[in-house]
Amino acid sequence: MIYSWWDDNSLCWLEVFPQPVSGASSQVVTVNGDRSSDDGELVRRWAVAGLGIAYKSRLDVLDDLRAGRLEAVLTELDGERAPLHLVCAHRTMLSPTVHALRNMLQQRINGYLA
């Protein structure tokens, strides 16, 4: 992952970009089952309950993986890459809550990348 953190007088910026896999190729995997949802949290709960396999961002399920509630499968395959952004207004307009959110995200992502 490529991680950058900017903070100046006009903008705070947090971005996380997965690094491209060199020589990567595409592979189509067709799946079916008795459940389908566009609600990521619901899909995570189904997987934790043992009702199937969930295709989720590692960042979304990291706590479940570490706690043993979920197990990673097909780890040799790379999923879709997705950036994560936090863009803020001028620093004089940032509330303490936004500062706390920014700091928490920075710490969590640093912990994830460690």
The encoded tokens of residue 98 equal 């936004």
pTM equals 0.54
Tens digit of each residue's pLDDT (9 = 90 or more) over 23-50? 666 667 677 778 888 898 999 999 999 9
Tens digit of each residue's pLDDT (9 = 90 or more) over 47-79? 999 988 888 888 788 899 999 999 998 777 766
Task: Show me where the domains of the chain are located.
Answer: 2-18+35-113
Tens digit of each residue's pLDDT (9 = 90 or more) over 94-106? 788 888 888 888 8
